[in-house]
Homo-oligomer: A and B are copies of this chain.
Amino acid sequence: LNIAVKNGKVRAPTHIVSTICDDRGEEPTYAGVPISNIIEKEFGVGDVISLLWFKKNLPRYATKFIEMCIILCADHGPCVSGAHNSIVTSRAGKDLVSCLVSGLLTIGPRFGGAIDDAARYFKDAYDRQLKPHEFVETMKKKGIRVPGIGHRIKSRDNRDKRVEFLQKYARLHFPSVKYMEYAVQVETYTLTKANNLVLNVDGAIGSLFLDLLVSCAMFNQQEIDDIVEIGYLNGLFVLARSIGLIGHTFDQKRLKQPLYRHPWEDVLYA
């Protein structure tokens, strides 16, 4: 920048720096790729995410995996915090953006945060070469449940089809699935503790995303660390669930539901 200023290319240092999308020409470019190119080459939503978030033209097997994650996380019924708040706001007669946003704001450590956490913990444990049982027992000592492990209904003998599908897809298409294999070893150990401590969808996505980043060989170490630290997987969940939250908002408006008031009988006025 300073050199650019000296060379007279820019008169004054600008107040904003931005690197993902240039809208100054005849048509916007996403990470340098003109938008009409993107359309002509029949890029999918995953490819656009790859350009605007990662600034890379990731291979199609990777961007299809991103789309699969979006599809799996798009909704989880009306009872979870996010959908519930969007429903309440929609029934208060507010505009779509307000409804969506009111629900999005519940996403965080307790709702939707498990994918990112799973990626962080699995990465840390694998990179420090902790044996699966060491990892699980260390977590136990710290009093933290292993994110990505455990399911209310599913168990050893009644596996989650979505997890199986993701694993099959990755084994077929990813150059390497070492983080997922590690997660499976963790699962093998936790299953000796209880029947329902299976690898769940959050854990499968979290570990496989690490494999995607590492095995595509398009990111250096610093970039991968940044991605995990900044929490890109949270972005994936947020974007995916937006589809559901918008859906619930429309649903209530279509049904012309009246103002929601929580029932008095369900509140303990302590």
Contacts and interface: CB of A to CB of B under 8 A. Distances in A.
A220 interface: no
A67 to B, nearest CB: 6
A235 B255 contact: no
A230 interface: yes
Interface stretch (A47-55, A125-133, A141-149, A183-191): A47-55
> Chain A contact residues (Cβ within 8 angstroms of B): what range?
35 or more
A12 to B, nearest CB: 9
Contact of A96 (B75, B111, B234): B234
Given A26-B154, A44-B44, A45-B45, A14 B265 contact: yes
A79 B161 contact: no
Contacts of A259: 81, 110-111
A-B pairs, top 9 by smallest CB distance, nearest first, are A23-B77, A52-B247, A18-B78, A36-B161, A102-B105, A92-B106, A79-B262, A21-B75, A98-B105
Interface in A14-28: 14-24, 26-28
A233 to B, nearest CB: 10
Number of copies: 4
A60 interface: no
A246 to B, nearest CB: 5
A218 interface: no
A258 B153 CA distance: 21
Contacts of A44: 44-45, 67, 71
Contacts of A71: 35, 38-39, 43-45, 48
A31 to B, nearest CB: 9
A226 B183 CA distance: 37
Contacts of A89: 81, 85, 105-106
Interface in A237-257: 238-239, 242-244, 246-251, 253-255, 257
